[in-house]
């Protein structure tokens, strides 16, 4: 079945450094790739998304890149701050299966 | 205020006692779904609904039931809960199908003893 692999599972960076989280999907019909941030004890919330007809999207310190040929997409956070510490989930959806599949999450720690 | 509301937030129950977790959204969204979140496993989709009276299985449907009689409500039913269903559950809704942002409820922490 369809799945989304996410790496790394944990990531520690120094404040001000960049963080990169990578995801690989299996369903070639996937066409929507959102990223969610979940702070401790809170619900997941969308931080950025990208569609299959776009290769890159940026929103201030956050960017997402998509490589459809290789079926992987990545989240890039620059100039990290302590408030970026959270669990980040990637996801992929498919118009073929109507499923919304999440990766297993990355716990990001930004060290002050 | 646009929101997805789940109830209850916390629930401790005993094995075999039927329970229902309610989910309601006020955004007129068509697509709704249920997820369970377990350490190391991320968010796994249990069931989803594309519209009223249209539901389908996600990746981990065993032991769960859902119904979608009204657009705003999507309850999750555990007919005979077991300890392996102890988890954090989230309901979510999306406008215009699943290829858009999912708005999550506050979560329901369920413990089955």
pLDDT tens digit string along B23-38? 999 999 999 999 999 9
Flag if A49 and B101 touch (Cβ within 8 Å). yes
CB contact at 8 A, A98 and A29: no
Flag if B33 and A100 touch (Cβ within 8 Å). yes
Measure CB to CB from residue A104 to each of B41, B45, B101 and give the nearest one.
Answer: B41
pLDDT score of B95: 84
How many residues comprise chain B? 113
Q: What is the DSSP string of B65-94?
A: EE--SSSSB--EEESS--GGG-EEEEEEEE
pLDDT score of B2: 80
Taking only the tens place, the pLDDT of each residue in B34-78 is 999 999 899 999 999 999 999 999 999 999 999 999 999 999 999
Those residues of chain A that have pLDDT short of 70 are 1
pLDDT score of B85: 98
| Strands laid side by side in the B65-66 sheet | B4-7, B19-25, B76-78, B65-66
């Amino acid at each position: 079945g369809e799945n989304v692999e996410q790496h790394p599972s944990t990531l520690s960076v120094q404040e001000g450094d960049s963080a990169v989280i990578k995801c690989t999907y299996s369903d070639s019909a996937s066409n929507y790739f959102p990223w969610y941030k979940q702070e401790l004890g809170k619900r997941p919330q969308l931080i950025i998304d990208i569609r299959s007809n776009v290769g890159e999207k940026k929103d201030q310190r956050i960017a997402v890149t998509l490589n459809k040929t290789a079926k992987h997409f990545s989240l890039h956070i620059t100039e990290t701050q302590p408030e970026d510490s959270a669990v980040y989930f990637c996801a992929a959806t498919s118009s073929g299966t109507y499923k919304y599949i999440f990766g297993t999450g990355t716990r990001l720690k930004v060290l002050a | 205020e646009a929101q997805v509301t789940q109830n209850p937030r916390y629930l401790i129950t005993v094995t075999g006692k039927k329970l229902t977790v309610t989910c309601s959204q006020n955004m007129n969204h068509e697509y709704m779904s249920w997820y369970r979140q377990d350490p190391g496993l991320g968010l796994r989709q249990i069931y989803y609904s594309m519209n009223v009276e249209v539901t389908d299985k996600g990746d981990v449907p065993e032991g769960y039931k859902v119904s979608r009689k009204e657009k705003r409500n999507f309850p999750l039913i555990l007919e005979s809960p077991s300890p392996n269903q102890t988890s954090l559950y989230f309901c979510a809704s999306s406008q215009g199908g699943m290829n858009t942002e999912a708005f999550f409820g506050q979560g329901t922490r369920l413990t089955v003893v």
